[in-house]
Amino acid sequence: MVANLSTTTTLCDCHDERFKSTLRESLQSHNYTMALLTALLAALALTVQARTFLTSRQASTITVDLTKTYQTMDGFGMSETFQRANQMHALSPELQRYALDLLFNRTSGAGFSILRNGIGSSPDSSSDHMVSIQPKSPGGPSAAPKYVWDGNDNSQVWVSTEAVKTYGVKTVYANAWSAPGYMKTNNNDANGGSLCGVSGATCSSGDWKQAYANYLVQYITYYKDLGVDVTHLGFLNEPDLTTSYASMRSSGQQAADFIKVLRPTLDKANYTSVGITCCDAEGWSSQQGMMSGLSSVTDLLGTITGQYAFPSPFQHTQAKR
């Protein structure tokens, strides 16, 4: 999610050892928030240098044909998942505002217009886990839910509130990397496994599709109650990849099975404007491979999403409507 040290320092052309040391220590300690802010400073410095260079040279002629239309860009965004928002929130008030300005301010910062939040699935907050709003099984898919909400969500509530109310961000994308472990075939929110009840995934505990849909709707309701409207909702992240952290496998057909439950659940809760995203596969080629399985639910989908994370040092989440 951040540039590697050699790339960033070269772009910045910065010989200040304090800059290099800050970025190096941030990356080694996995403090990606500080690394991102340091990289943003480098990018801003590069912009100033570029403008100075360009104004010192003779202007070139650029012809713009307003009759031609290409791809529409809805915006650019960022994410503070896996407790990165906690790291920012731990800063002093002055540095908090400085960091937020770097991310969202359209004059002095990057002016990001999209925020992607992580919907937790882990039973605890150890390490950088994103804790679930229902850490323990309620007893079965049909049992009364036992949701737990701290109003903080690993400081994502704070970042979201600032982004929306202070900086005018209008696109908030809530995305789950996995369902809670008790809803999955491997009884673990990490290491893959599939959602119980989708095609080819049966569990002795039963069919958890409706319970997972209810779970996701409850999550965005907590945010709505705090004045933050989630505009896009995702239930998968890299479903073609098994990782040691939160992850859940899914084919296109399995995703379609769940979307057929999630869409009416959203509508029933008066979230008709919330778009369902799918499936954040690892690259557009992988996502394309899932599309045939999604053919039966295209009318229920809001946005097709895909990622390109490797081998690039940056992770991109792109969307096509």
pLDDT 10s digits, 51-99: 555 555 556 788 888 888 887 888 999 999 999 999 999 999 999 999 9
Q: Are residues 141 and 281 in the same domain?
A: yes
| 173, 232 Cβ separation under 8 angstroms | yes
Q: Are residues 173 and 297 in the same domain?
A: yes
Q: Are residues 234 and 267 in the same domain?
A: yes
Establish if 239 belongs to a structural domain.
yes
User: pTM (2 decimals)?
Assistant: 0.79
- What amino acid occupies position 225? D
CA atoms of 69 and 255, how far apart (whole Å) = 33
Q: Are residues 120 and 244 in the same domain?
A: yes
| 146, 153 Cβ separation under 8 angstroms | no
Q: Are residues 191 and 109 in the same domain?
A: yes
DSSP of 291-308, one letter per residue?
HGGGGGGGGG-SEEEEEE
- Alpha carbon 148 to chain centroid distance? 22
Range of the domain at 53: 1-60
DSSP 144: P
Q: Are residues 112 and 184 in the same domain?
A: yes
Q: Are residues 20 and 100 in the same domain?
A: no
Single out the residue of 211, 219, 282 nearest to residue 250, CA to CA: 282
Establish if 70 belongs to a structural domain.
no
Tokens standing for residue 145 = 């839910």
Residue 19 confidence (pLDDT) above 60:
no
CA atoms of 154 and 144, how far apart (whole Å) = 25
Q: Is 112 helix (H, G, I), strand (E, B) or coil?
A: coil
235: confidence class by pLDDT, cuts 50, 70, 90: very high
**pLDDT of amino acid 283:** 84
Establish if 144 belongs to a structural domain.
yes
Which CATH number covers residue 82?
3.20.20.80
CA atoms of 225 and 114, how far apart (whole Å) = 20
* 318 burial via Cβ count (<10 Å: 0-12, 13-18, 19+): middle
Q: Are residues 225 and 315 in the same domain?
A: yes
pLDDT 10s digits, 241-296: 999 999 999 999 999 999 999 999 999 999 999 999 999 999 888 999 999 999 99
Report the number of distinct structural domains present in the chain. Answer: 2
The 10 Å CB-count burial string (b at 16+, else e) for 214-231 is: bbbbebbbbbeeeebebb
**pLDDT of amino acid 207:** 98
| 114, 74 Cβ separation under 8 angstroms | yes
Tokens standing for residue 6 = 């050699």
Beta bridge partners of 281: 306
Mean of the pLDDT values across residues 226-231?
Answer: 98
